[in-house]
Each structure stands twice: as C-alpha cells, then as structure tokens.
Structure 1
Amino acid sequence: MLAQLVIFLILLALLAKFAWGPLMKVMKEREDHIANEIDSAENSRQEAEKMMNEAKGELKDARQNAQKIIEDSKQTAKSQQQSILNEAREEATRIKESAREEIVQERERAVQALQEQVATLSVQIASKVIEKELSQEDQEQLIDQYLREVGENK
C-alpha cells in the first residue's frame, strides 16, 4: 500500500507539473480572451449608442431645418401673392382711370360735335328766318323740324 501511495503522489506531482500548469495556463488565456471580447463588445455598444445619439441629433436638426425652409417658403409665397395682388389692383386702377379719361374725351368730342351741329342748324334756321318772316308758330315748327333732323343724324 505504501508503494501505491508513493506512486500516486509521484503521479500527482507529475500531473501537477505537466498537466495542471499548462491546463491552467490555457484556461487563464481563454479567460483573458473572453474578458477582452466582452470589453470590446461593451466598447462597440457604447460607440454605437454614441453614434445613434449623434444621428438622432442630426436628424432632429435636419427636421428643424426642413421646417424652417418650409416656413420661409410659405412666407415668400405669401409676400409674392400679396405683391401680385397689389400689382393687379394697381393695373386695374390704371385701366379704369384710362377708360374714364377716354370716356370724358369721347363725351367732350360728342358735345363739341353736337354744338357744331346746333350752331349749323341755328345758322340755317336764322338764314331761313331772315329769308322770310315767319310767324311764331312757323318758327316753332321749323325748330322742331331741325331738332328732329339732328336726332335722326345721330
């Protein structure tokens, strides 16, 4: 039994020296490798979170800029609309004023033409009255006749 105990102790010492040491070394290397992988994964996760937060911030800024551009476009459209309306109103006013002036000129021409006709008729009536002495009734009939003629000439 003593021999078996000695052989067991020798075997145990050999195992400790040749098997246990290298096995522990491999286990330590594996543990270090796994710890490094975990640290690397944690760093990657933190970097991804940081990038995600930056992307969210940039997206928020982009949305704000887009909203600002839309608002600016709306304001520009409103000012252009107002400008176009004002120009149209001014043009309509100018056209109305021009038409009024034209109407006044036409009226003046018509009045002048009528005055010329009345003057001509007056001269004709006067010459006929001078040519012959007419009674009051004859003169009224003559005036009515010439006024009818003027009305027909229009």
Structure 2
Amino acid sequence: MDKFIWESTVFAIVAFLVLLWLLNKYAFGPLFAVMEKRRQLIQEQMSTAETSRKAAEASLDEQKVALEQARKEAYAIIDQARSTSTKQADEIVQSAKNEAARLKDDALKDIESEKNKAIAALRTEVGGISVKIASKIIEKQVDEKSQEQLVDQYLKEVGSK
C-alpha cells in the first residue's frame, strides 16, 4: 500500500485554500454583491408597494367620503327643490284664491251697483208713469171704476217692461 505523503496533503490543502481565497475574492464577492443589491431592490420594491397600497387605501377612503358628501348634497338639493316647489305651489294656489275672491267681490259690487241703477231707473220710470196716470186722471175726472182700470193698465205696462 501506498504510504501517506505529507507533502502532497499539505500541497493539496494550500492549493485548496488559495483556490478558496481566489473564488472568494473574484467569484463569491461579486456574486454576493449582486445578490445583496438584488435583495435591497426587492426590499425597496416591497416597501414602495406597501406605501402605494396604503396611499391607495387612503385615496379610496377619501373617495368614499367625497361620494357620501356628494350624495348628502344631492339629497339636500332634492329636498330643497321639493320644499321650494311645494312653497311655490302653495303661493300660486293662495294667489289664485286671493284673485278669485277679489274678482268675486268686484262682481258682487258690480251686481249691487247695477241693481241700484236698475232700481233708480225703475223709480224714475214709475215716477214718470205715475205722473202720466195722475194727469190722465185729472183730465178725465173719472169715477173709481175707471181709476181702477187705469191702475191695472199701468201695472200691465210696468209688468211688460
């Protein structure tokens, strides 16, 4: 069997250590640096994504609040429009009632005025006819029977007018 050679073992260990040092300096160092940069980039992206998510949630909450406020304002505008239209309708109805009452009062005044004019005209006519009857009675100097006939005739004339 072969004998164990110390020089060869020492040489192999030294060669391995030199190789390990060279790999560490020229291969593993840059490789680990690239891997570290990649880890930092991923960490930054995750942090940015988390910040973006929080900002999106905050924006969504703001939009919900704004939408709710817009709904409240819309409902308030609708309620105000209903109130205003009801008020205007009531004002129009009241105005129409007032106008109708005024027209009715004017019509009643006109009727009363026309009635008074008609009564005055009738009195004037009755007075004129009475004078005519009286003058005919005086002219004829008739008896009571003739006087009754004249009154009846007068009443028929008045009734026909």
CA apart distance, 1:30: 0.3
Cα deviation 1:40-75 (Å, max 9, x = unaligned): 011011011101101111111111111111111211
Q: Which amino acid counterpart does residue 142 of structure 1 have in structure 2?
A: L
TM-score, normalised to structure 2's length?
0.86
Residue among 112, 129, 135 paired with 1:127: 135
Matched, 1:95 2:103: yes
Matched, 1:67 2:87: no
- Structure 1 distance, partners of 2:57, 2:72, is 22
Matched, 1:10 2:10: no
- Structure 2 distance, partners of 1:70, 1:32, is 56
- Structure 2 distance, partners of 1:144, 1:104, is 30
- Structure 2 distance, partners of 1:112, 1:123, is 16
Overall identity of the aligned pairs, in %: 43
Q: Could you list the runs of 5+ residues in structure 2 that have no partner in the other structure?
A: 1-7
Which stretch of the first structure deviates more once superposed, 142-151 or 112-121?
142-151
CA apart distance, 1:23: 0.6
For 1:17-56, what aligned pairs fall within 5 Å after superposition? Answer: 17-56=25-64
Task: State how many pairs are aligned.
Answer: 153
Please identify the structure whose Cα radius of gyration is greater.
2
Which stretch of the first structure deviates more once superposed, 33-42 or 120-129?
120-129
Q: Could you list the runs of 5+ residues in structure 1 that have no partner in the other structure?
A: none
CA apart distance, 1:150: 2.3
Per the alignment, residue 107 of structure 1 pairs with: 115
TM-score, normalised to structure 1's length?
0.90
- Structure 1 distance, partners of 2:149, 2:50, is 123
CA apart distance, 1:5: 5.3
